[in-house]
Amino acid sequence: MKKNIFYTVLPGVLSLAVICACQTAPGKNGSARFITFSEKKSIPLTDAGEPAMTQEFNLLDLEDGDPDSALFRSLVYGGQTAKQYAAEREKLHRTEYLEVESGFREENDYGESMNWYHSETVSLVTESPRILVFSKTGESYAGGAHGMQERYYFVIDRLAGRRIDTAFIIKNGAEGELTALINDALRSRADLGSGTALTEGGFYEETVEITENFFPDKAGMNFHWDQYEIAPYSMGPIEVCIPWKKLTALLSAEGEAVRRDLR
């Protein structure tokens, strides 16, 4: 019902530009396993074409028959296909846009704040015989001073058929040592001396805890924080890599197997 209202209440001519493509990309063994889904829609509020809400999706999916498909879709798309997920998200943001737009329409002054934008991209980061790593990046602007970006990583153990967390890679009792390595990497990133409180470099807290927003690759374990998570917006997204050579004594048996697999 709300979808129909959205098409009838907006002033001017409502145009909808859509670009949609589904194609397959070869996996490591040459088979067509990965599927890309792309769609872009622009919904102007007036005949002039502005302001408008633009939504864009560039998503990666796995074919139904792929053994990793069910777990991947459960983690990344809530059990849906990429196309179903995009349709649900598009409807959600369209509804939010309409609710806010109605207040501006009464004042007859849309302004730049109604030039909304939302995009989501899912990409393959790392693939090995055992490990799959995907990133999910969202960018949006819904009024205000600036837009926002979020990125989250999903690490899949194809052998165990499960998502990997840090406890899978780091042995029990080594959390404190990993935390110290992460904080040292953040200090180095901010050009701070050893043992210096991170607040001296603009961070919110003197130290940070282990984040589960991470991924392993050939270089080591990479940890990611979005804007505002541990530091002001002006510092941007923050990512540090802890090399495997610094993690040798901290790895569980499974973690060592992951390291070898990614070499």
For the chain, give every domain's residue range: 2-162, 166-262
C-alpha to C-alpha distance for 181 and 205, rounded to whole angstroms: 16
Confidence category of residue 143, pLDDT binned at 50, 70, 90 = confident
Per DSSP, the three-state class of 171 is: coil
The CA-atom distances, in angstroms, between 221 and each of 7, 118, 166, 224, 258 are 47, 30, 9, 10, 11
Confidence of residue 30 (pLDDT cuts 50, 70, 90): very low
Percent pLDDT > 70 in the chain is: 83
**Burial class of residue 33 in the structure, from the number of CB atoms within 10 Å of its CB (0-12 exposed, 13-18 middle, 19+ buried):** buried
pLDDT for 33-74, tens place per residue? 889 999 999 887 766 667 888 999 999 999 888 889 999 999
CATH, range 2-162: 3.30.565.40
Angle at the Cα of 255 from the Cα atoms of 250 and 261, rounded to 5 degrees? 135
83-100 mean pLDDT: 89
Cβ atoms of residues 87 and 78 within 8 Å: no
Q: First and final CA of the chain: distance in angstroms?
A: 53
Q: What is the mean pLDDT of the chain?
A: 85
**In terms of pLDDT, which residue wins out, 13 or 208?**
208
71: tokens are 């777990």
Comparing 44-48, 172-176, 187-191, the range with the smallest average pLDDT is 44-48
Measured in residues, the chain has a length of 263
Strand, coil or helix: 89:
helix
List CB contacts of 248: < 8 A, sequence separation 6 or more: none
pLDDT in the model for residue 65:
87
Q: CA–CA separation, 104 vs 110, rounded Å?
A: 5
Torsion angles phi and psi, residue 204, rounded to 5 = -70, -40
Q: Note the CATH number of domain 166-262.
A: 3.90.640.20
